[in-house]
Structure 1
């Protein structure tokens, strides 16, 4: 367990009991104590490292860019601190990026970065120098569909002049004689074009989903099959995704920290760039401070979907917690059925929705990115040639925006994603983001070294 001199004294002062006996007995046997431990550890990590780092960067006139994934703290909050929050793929599944882009939206940060193409085909050095551009595009599109709008390629190790023989075992090779080099100019142009669209205006927001961070802390370690050398505990939120029933409402994560920053104005929950019409909660545990804010906003009129009653985490339990839950549940604008509190249809409706992300300009114009179907729910590792697509795929979708309903059959040609420009009047203009990579070759799956 992480520790520092004086931790036990600070813990005693804050929580009113001695943590040492629990540490000796095994902290993971006491989830409520572990929750208190993680709250204090969060303070140490946030105030002892991340905040000073960001402040020092600004003092030096530099931008800060940080990957907070895996930090022993509430990562949704941590990602709001640097100037440029950054995710990683494929060592992180692309869907994790929604945490990063949600934090950026809630903190009014426009650039959301990714260290991209790490261990594309697995670990270590699987199909190194044999990468296929179609596979790279599939991963890039999966990231765009999670709100990422800056891709930093990983990578090209340093080689002395005249040499191209030095490799790095956990990367995609972008060196002069790499397999993707002939297609790189066109691929770069595609990445640039989509990234520019994905920075238009601000992230479109509608439904806020309470992120189950407290659940992760209370559960402790991932089961062995989900652990990696770089993944251990459920508090890391590596495999947390929004619920299916709000998929079409462009869900954005929210947590206690941002609820405490938010205000309810003009019928919307507002924080940073976000304006939410409703709040969706489906967690086992919720900090009492978060519950207090939810109750406050619900009393003011915020529609809340409370799927079940969470429990209070932490060693000391408040006698008011159950009363607050009962008071919240009794409000007319609170229901355990989302359909009862949804005020309008979803932005995107249809069977088998593609993954997507939407940006909104100040005049109401939307830019809606619809990712190629094979980009959906990518998981580490990608296998070589996984992107192969021999014919078009069609999706019949309904787009509901600004009181307008638009039904359209969309064609996804092989390897292609779509970018829609939607006016406030409901007019759709297809933007040209075409890039057709070479047809990939499907290669055998290699045995992966997943656990160490």
Structure 2
């Protein structure tokens, strides 16, 4: 399988249940835990770990080490040894997932079993770890579970989902898909997929759709992702909170630590904010007023969390004392059972500094790259020549949630947005027309010119079908 051109070895999303009644354990875990944290975890496990959020935080820290050191790092090493890329979905692993995403060669996300917003976690990690490709297992359970409207999929709906993913930083799609069938047989279906095989509803438009996907992916692989504002990801909050409320749980979704429903602050949308976690924050360095890590160069840090690890807070204090602009929305608490001395003193020192404020407009260094009313979801790449490539997703791609209903992409007339672009010291206002089913790709040149790049693909008008009942809570 690995002969010929270089291939990738794939690891799918983590689907071992870590919920209220099922905790991951291995012989010797309690001894290692005692040595690391200085107390016995067994009584808390027996009473129910989820009744003790601080203990659960310590448990997850150690579990993260086991999973990262025992699987992800050896897996990446083995792939390199075999001359292959590691292509991995770290989704739902019991780790600080941005860190594990950054370990692999090709971090991968998924939709629509995950809403597109989750993909920002993966694309942020890719940027911070200098990984040029952000892959996606796209079109899983497009219309729901199980097998809703299978073989009746509509290209316009697929394009809407793909555009939503491009606008979250994805630049490589793996279609999901078509199951392997015995020779001469085409009757075996997979309940969680979109059918791309012969005789399916997508067949007539598939060639043109593939060309569109190839063209946009190619543009979005140029250069590096644009960066300006780093937002501290609420991973510690997720671990401390525990389970999602029942209405957000699925058979494949349980805990807040999975980060499936997080969004950057609304006031930052035009900046293309990127998530950052403790791992990357601790490895960043401040040079000439910019916070540098991987491909990112941030001009400010935004912190709006209820809990922050002691080590992360130390780094925030260090940056604040060096004059780096920080929006510090809340006064965080320390997670974990054993509290380090001086935590609240560090918080007080941070908020006392003049370059720290709980008001964004007091610390923002420059205007957003895009401003205006009703900004569509977008993604910006900066090329080696200093040009900006901005993919503006069709308006109906904004805020997609599982499941898409059949025909949701139907668009009968153009939609217009007046947007202002701030780049290379210039401000340019432009009226953008989103024709039916069309996203827009703009090239903002280093000379201050704005050019629209042709990415047109017009699918057939979809049929709006009945929304089918879904199996979600079982």
What TM-score does the superposition give when structure 1 sets the normalisation length? 0.99
SS at 1:80's partner residue?
helix
The equivalent of 2:447 in structure 1 is 425
After TM superposition, the structure 1 = structure 2 runs for residues 11-410 of structure 1, keeping only pairs within 5 Å, are: 11-410=33-432
Shift of 1:329: 0.6
SS at 1:64's partner residue?
strand
8 Å CA contact 1:134–1:387 kept in 2: the answer is: yes
Distance in 2 separating the partners of 1:8 and 1:161: 52
Give ranges in structure 1 of 5+ residues lacking alignment. Answer: none
SS at 1:302's partner residue?
coil
Q: Deviation per CA, 1:111-139: give whole Å up to 9, x if none.
A: 00000100000000000000000000000
8 Å CA contact 1:164–1:177 kept in 2: the answer is: no
Distance in 2 separating the partners of 1:391 and 1:291: 50
8 Å CA contact 1:64–1:82 kept in 2: the answer is: yes
Distance in 1 separating the partners of 2:31 and 2:89: 30
8 Å CA contact 1:92–1:380 kept in 2: the answer is: yes
SS at 2:418's partner residue?
strand
Q: Deviation per CA, 1:61-99: give whole Å up to 9, x if none.
A: 111000011101111111001100000100010111000
Distance in 2 separating the partners of 1:162 and 1:14: 58
Distance in 1 separating the partners of 2:93 and 2:57: 15
RMSD (Å), alpha carbons: 0.6
Distance in 2 separating the partners of 1:366 and 1:265: 23
SS at 1:192's partner residue?
helix
- Stretches (4+) displaced over 4 A: none
8 Å CA contact 1:404–1:425 kept in 2: the answer is: no
Q: Deviation per CA, 1:272-317: give whole Å up to 9, x if none.
A: 0000000000000000100001111111121000001100000011
Shift of 1:357: 0.2
Distance in 2 separating the partners of 1:161 and 1:28: 50
Shift of 1:451: 1.1
Distance in 1 separating the partners of 2:212 and 2:311: 45
Distance in 1 separating the partners of 2:148 and 2:85: 34
Distance in 2 separating the partners of 1:407 and 1:396: 7
Shift of 1:161: 2.5
Distance in 1 separating the partners of 2:337 and 2:152: 53
2:471 to 431, 449, 452: 449
Tell me the matched-pair count: 452
- After superposing the two structures, state which structure 1 stretch, 130-139 or 151-160, moved more: 151-160
The equivalent of 2:20 in structure 1 is none
8 Å CA contact 1:209–1:252 kept in 2: the answer is: yes
Distance in 1 separating the partners of 2:446 and 2:49: 54
SS at 1:187's partner residue?
helix
SS at 2:67's partner residue?
helix
Shift of 1:344: 1.1
SS at 1:158's partner residue?
coil
Distance in 1 separating the partners of 2:55 and 2:339: 12
Shift of 1:159: 1.8
Distance in 2 separating the partners of 1:169 and 1:134: 21
Shift of 1:234: 0.3
What TM-score does the superposition give when structure 2 sets the normalisation length? 0.95
Shift of 1:426: 1.8
Distance in 1 separating the partners of 2:388 and 2:202: 33
Shift of 1:364: 1.4
Distance in 2 separating the partners of 1:11 and 1:418: 52
